[in-house]
Structures are given as C-alpha cells and as structure tokens.
Amino acid sequence: MDGNIQVTEKKQVVLSLVQPTGTPTLGNYLGAFKNWAKMAEDYDCLFGAADLHSITVRTEPKVLKSRIIEIYAILLSLGLNPEKNIIFVQSQVPQHSQLGWILNCYTQFGEAARMTQFKDKSKKYAENVNVGLFSYPTLMAADILLYQADFVPVGEDQKQHLELARDIATRMNNLYGNLFTVPAPFIGKAGAKVMSLQEPTKKMSKTDPNTKSFISMLDTPDVILKKIKSAVTDSEGKVYYSEEKPGISNLMSIYSACTGLSYKEIEKEFDGKGYGDFKAAVAEAVIEELRPFRAEFDRIINDKAYILSSMEKGAERAEKRARRTLDKVMKKIGFVSYR
C-alpha cells in the first residue's frame, strides 16, 4: 500500500434529540448540552428537535411552531457546527414516521404496554390517552435505528425505551439479516446532576409548575439571581457538601460545574461567609456560564432566514441517510419499489 495514503477511521454515530415542550433548563445544559460540542468532535453526531413526539399532549399550533424554532435555535447556539454535524427537525424527515409504522408491526403489544412512561403519562393526562402516547417508544426506536446510531445519550426515564429499540433491532436483524446497528447508551463525560431549587431532592425539570424551582437556559440575569436567592437551603449557615444539606449541596454542584472548583475548594472559599454571599456567587457563576450561549441565541433567533435555511440543509442531509435505511428495510420486508 502507498505509504502516503491515509486511512480515515469511520466515527461512531451518536444521535441526540430534544423535545420542543418548553425551554431546556440549567440542568439540561450542565448535564448534557455543555458537553455536546466536545462530543461532536469525537463522534459523527446528529442533533434534532423531536417535534413529532411533542404532540402526544395537546398544544396550540402557534405555540408548537414557536417552540420548534426556539429549540432549533438553541441547538444552533451550543457551538455545534452545522456543516460538520447534522442538525434537523424530526417532522421534516418523513422516514421517521414511515419506519415508525413498520416498527409498530414488529413490536408486541405486551412490550409496549410495559413501558412505565406510558403508564405514568396515562395517569397524568387521563383525558387524552392517545395511541401516539402508547406507540411513542416505537417512534423513538425509528429515530435511532434510521441513522444506524451506535450510541444514544439517554436519561433514566428513557432507558427502557432504548432497551425496546435494541430488542426490535435484534428481532428484525434475526428475521432479515443485518438491517440495523443495535444501539447502546452513550456514556460520555458525566455532567452535573442539577436538582430543583425549591425541592432539592427532586431533579430540576422544565415542566415543574413552580417556576422558581428551575432556571431556564433563556432566563435573564435578573431572573437567575432572584431564583437562586430564593433557593431552599437550611438554617445552619455554613457552606459544605453533605447529603444532610441537599439545598446547599445542589448549589455547590452547580457552582462547581460552572467554575471547575472542587467541593473542598468551594468550602474553603466560603469559610466564614454566609449563604447570602454564596448564593450571590452561584448566581454570578451561572450568569457567566450561560452568557456566551445566550449572546449567540439572541443573534440567531432574530435571523429567521438563517434558521429556516439551516433547517432545510439539515433535513436534506438527515433524509439522505434515513432513506438509505428505510429503502433497505422495505426491500427486505418485501415492499415493491419503482426506483
């Protein structure tokens, strides 16, 4: 072989989708988004707005549209290069829905009925227990398998869905040969686990009815300061990490993630100082952490032409990959193609 020929190793594929059901929180940013730009350097990454999943709950059309644009602008503002990474909107790639139906027919009713998220959401939205809510995991499997993803970053609430995707992929591979890559959970650099500011034993959530409990990635500096000042702590008045002090420990985790300081260094910095000083410092650290992202978001969200152009390019690139997989699946199953 010619010594001048370089063999480029094919990168493994990682798929990350975000639902446009509200603005992501500081927890989403520190726990995952902050690491995505680095992840995109090491892997072949696809990032997307999972808008088809969001309509299992009734949403006003204008609200849904604005949320899709917002979450897409957020993805573009994370330092991800749209030329190197595919950044797309799920509903703009029709193969998701097409493969989703096919996978429905290779998923047993009992498998789907066991999904704990379906059970939980059926109770929460008892007035609207729709078929989409039930088949949500098979559409999620289609999202993953379409792109032959090696890895998928998933939280605790989605692990069961990824297992189902693995089961479906294995079942269809056994039936038809090598159709799909069997995906695995992505274990990257551990991000900060951010808890509610008002109930620090619960995870921070954008759907929490108490808006003081979470910091949105798009909150203004004044709002961030107010929310952190009102964060639940304790009466001891001393800054140190302990499971017996969930409120202060949560704020220390946030401060550590934003500054890079260890818990010991934080304890030393605030030795002899009260919670007021500590909260003010945490708020300032959060504001500075989000400042570059917020500046980029403010620039992008006001450039609708750029957003729509990026969506079009992202959809074209995603569909090119998705069509390869779908065509292969349909041919193996026995559908007739005129192409």
Which own/partner pairs from 170-179 qualify as long-range (CB within 8 Å, at least 24 positions apart)?
171/106, 172/106, 172/329, 176/329, 176/332, 176/333, 177/332, 179/325, 179/328, 179/329, 179/332
What is the tens place of the pLDDT at every residue in 264-321? 999 999 999 999 999 999 999 999 999 999 999 999 999 999 999 999 999 999 999 9
> Is 203 part of the annotated catalytic residue set?
yes
Residue with the larger pLDDT of the pair 122 and 15: 15
Longest dimension (CA), the chain: 77
Q: Looking at 62, 159, 189, 206, which residue is catalytic?
A: 206
Q: Looking at 34, 203, 245, 279, which residue is catalytic?
A: 203
> Is 304 part of the annotated catalytic residue set?
no
What is the tens place of the pLDDT at every residue in 21-53? 889 999 999 988 998 988 898 899 999 999 999
What is the tens place of the pLDDT at every residue in 226-270? 999 999 999 999 999 999 999 999 999 999 999 999 999 999 999
Q: Looking at 121, 227, 245, 279, which residue is catalytic?
A: 121
The CATH code for residues 211-299 is: 1.10.240.10
Q: Looking at residue 119, what is its pLDDT?
A: 66
Average model confidence (pLDDT) across the chain: 90
Least confident of 63-67, 133-137, 223-227, 290-294: 133-137
Are 13-191+304-333 and 211-299 equal in CATH topology?
A: no
> Is 38 part of the annotated catalytic residue set?
no
d(CA 88, CA 97): 15
Which of 43, 79, 70, 23 lies closest to 207 in space, CA to CA?
23
Q: Where are the domains of the chain?
A: 13-191+304-333, 211-299
Percent of the chain past pLDDT 70, that is, above it, reads: 93
Mean pLDDT of 76-82: 89
Does CATH number 3.40.50.620 belong to domain 13-191+304-333? yes
